[in-house]
């Protein structure tokens, strides 16, 4: 099967999910074409003979307030479909990627036409898609796709309720994690760069957007450090970084916090961590939490969105109300004080990641979805 994937290229979850799915499909012999505005973050370290990257062009013109990126993306999709005989276009994000895919299909001159599969990842429907400026376009993109999936039951239900989409329209396909890449295995020499043997190491990974509430990461950490010696690694970057630095300085823990920016081999750092912290106000799945769990690291997170489908409260981590940094710190200290309970949580986190979010099952589910979509546009095969 020839598959074109439309995706975001940055460090966010949807781009990572799309890239890794593409690599797994390629490993099964499928031809995969990734279409994005830059080389996808996870593709920088991975290459496969069956994976091809196509960069979306752009231009600026004084008449327009901003580049017409959706039209540029649609044009690139047409080019790839007609040149390579694409069977399925898989859009990872309803807006703008599914919209671009649908516009492209209307322009394609070759036959048979490709099927369009849209995967909803979160803010494409819970934030951007609900804005009055994009609501109708988002609804149209979902309803016009040949098959639609969501990365959690929470996201599927939210889309059905808020978008008025039929319940049988959306299939839930959980994200997967590579448990050979993300696995326990502390590297003492790496860990020693950030914390001594007597210090606990907490880690947060995100794009530092407001929904990630990274100031709460700092506040929670300060409460932990007040009782136990600890260090915090902040991995990623984004608009809220300056505010987080200011909060760390005001709480007198700036010297205990390292802001590392993007870290390409993130699995090496996760394996060194004692706890992973994710106090988001919105989280449709929580891929970074799953990667931490696969590394044998318990997660302290908000009880929001799809996180309860990933983390078992009181088993592989703890879930608390958004903004309740005191409760989060209390749960963190509970584990850090109890070596035996920490070991049990580590084992449970790894076990759940391996058995519930298996890559083989994930690829199989998407291939089934592709076949369903092809049956919709090519009923005679």
Q: What is the pLDDT of residues 76-93, one digit of tens each?
A: 999 999 999 999 999 999
Work out the end-to-end distance of the chain between its first and last CA atoms, rounded to an integer number of angstroms: 13
CA atoms lying within 13 Å on the CB side of residue 191 = 18
pLDDT at 273: 98
Q: Residues 19, 24, 29, CA angle at the centre, nearest 5°? A: 120
At residue 263 the predicted structure's pLDDT band, cuts being 50, 70 and 90, is confident
pLDDT tops 70 at residue 217: yes
| Contact between residue 255 and residue 245 where contact means Cβ atoms under 8 Å apart | no
CA separation, residue 341 to residues 72, 150, 289, 298, 332 (Å): 53, 34, 19, 11, 11
Distance CA 175, CA 276 (A): 19
pTM (whole model) above 0.85: yes
User: In this predicted structure, what is the pLDDT of residue 359?
Assistant: 95
pLDDT tens figures, 140-155: 999 999 999 999 999 9
| Contact indicator for 311, 289 with CB cutoff of 8 Å | yes
Residue 59 has pLDDT above 70, yes or no: yes
Q: What is the rounded average pLDDT of the residues 338-365?
A: 97
Assigned superfamily of 2-176+358-377: Glycogen Phosphorylase B; (3.40.50.2000)
Burial 362-374 (b: 16+ CB within 10 A, else e): bbebbbebbeebb
DSSP state letter for 115? E
Q: At residue 63, does pLDDT exceed 70?
A: yes
Residue 381 pLDDT: 60
The pLDDT tens digits of the residues spanning 25-46 come to 999 999 999 999 988 877 766 7
pLDDT tens-digit map of 367-381: 999 999 999 887 766
Report how far apart, in Å, the C-alpha atoms of 284 and of each of 88, 134, 202 are: 25, 19, 23
Mean pLDDT for the chain overall: 94
Q: 92 forms bridges with which residues in the sheet?
A: 119
Q: Over 90: is that where the pLDDT of 126 sits? A: no
HSE-CB of 210 using CA atoms within 13 angstroms: 2
Query: What top-level class would CATH report for the domain 188-356?
Result: alpha beta
* Rounded average pLDDT over 185-214: 94
How many of the other CB atoms lie within 10 Å of CB of 348? 18
So what's the pLDDT on residue 11?
65
Closest CA to 233 of 193, 293, 184: 193
Are 2-176+358-377 and 188-356 the same fold in CATH? yes
DSSP state of 4: E
Q: What is the pLDDT of residue 9?
A: 84
Residue 335 pLDDT: 98
d(CA 8, CA 76): 15
Average pLDDT score over residue span 294-315: 98
Close Cβ partners of 159 (under 8 Å, ≥ 6 residues apart): 120, 125, 142, 150, 165, 170
Contacts of 148 (CB under 8 A, 6+ apart): 117, 118, 119, 120, 142, 165, 169, 170, 171
CA distances from 227 to 196, 215, 223, 272 (A): 16, 19, 7, 21
Sequence spans of domains, the chain: 2-176+358-377, 188-356
159-182: string of b/e by CB count within 10 Å (b at 16+)? bbeebebeeeebbbbbbbbebeeb
């Amino acid at each position: 099967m020839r598959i074109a994937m439309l995706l975001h290229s940055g460090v966010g979850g949807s781009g990572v999910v799309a890239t890794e799915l593409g690599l797994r499909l390629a490993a099964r012999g499928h031809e995969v074409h990734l279409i994005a505005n830059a080389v996808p973050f996870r593709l920088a370290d991975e290459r496969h003979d069956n994976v091809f990257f196509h960069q979306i062009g752009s231009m600026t013109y004084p008449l327009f307030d901003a580049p017409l990126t959706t039209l540029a993306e649609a044009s690139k999709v047409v080019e790839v479909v007609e040149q390579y005989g694409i069977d399925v276009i898989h859009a990872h994000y309803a807006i703008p990627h599914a919209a671009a895919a649908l516009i492209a299909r209307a322009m394609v001159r070759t036959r048979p036409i490709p099927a369009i599969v849209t995967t909803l990842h979160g803010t494409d429907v819970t934030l951007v898609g609900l804005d009055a400026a994009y609501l109708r376009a988002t609804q149209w993109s979902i309803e016009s796709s040949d098959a639609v999936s969501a990365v959690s039951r929470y996201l599927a239900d939210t889309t059905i309720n808020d978008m008025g989409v039929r319940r049988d329209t959306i299939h839930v396909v959980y994200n997967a994690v590579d448990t050979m890449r993300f696995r326990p295995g502390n590297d003492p020499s790496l860990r020693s760069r950030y914390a001594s043997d007597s210090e606990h190491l907490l880690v947060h990974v995100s794009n530092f957007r407001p929904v990630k509430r990274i100031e709460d990461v700092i506040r929670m950490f300060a409460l932990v450090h007040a009782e136990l010696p600890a260090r915090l690694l902040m991995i990623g970057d984004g608009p809220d970084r300056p505010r987080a630095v200011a909060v760390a300085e005001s709480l007198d823990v700036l010297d205990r916090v390292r802001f590392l920016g993007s870290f390409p081999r993130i699995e090496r750092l996760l394996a060194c961590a004692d706890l992973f912290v994710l106090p988001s106000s919105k989280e449709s799945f929580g891929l970074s939490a799953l990667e931490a769990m696969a590394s044998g690291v318990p997660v302290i997170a908000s009880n929001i969105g799809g996180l309860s489908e990933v983390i078992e409260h009181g088993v592989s981590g703890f879930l608390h109300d958004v903004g309740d940094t005191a409760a989060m710190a209390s749960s963190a200290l509970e584990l850090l004080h109890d070596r035996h309970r920490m070991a049990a949580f580590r084992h449970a986190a790894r076990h759940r990641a391996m058995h519930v979010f298996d890559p083989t099952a994930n690829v199989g589910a998407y291939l089934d979805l592709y076949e369903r979509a092809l049956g919709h546009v090519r009923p005679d095969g």
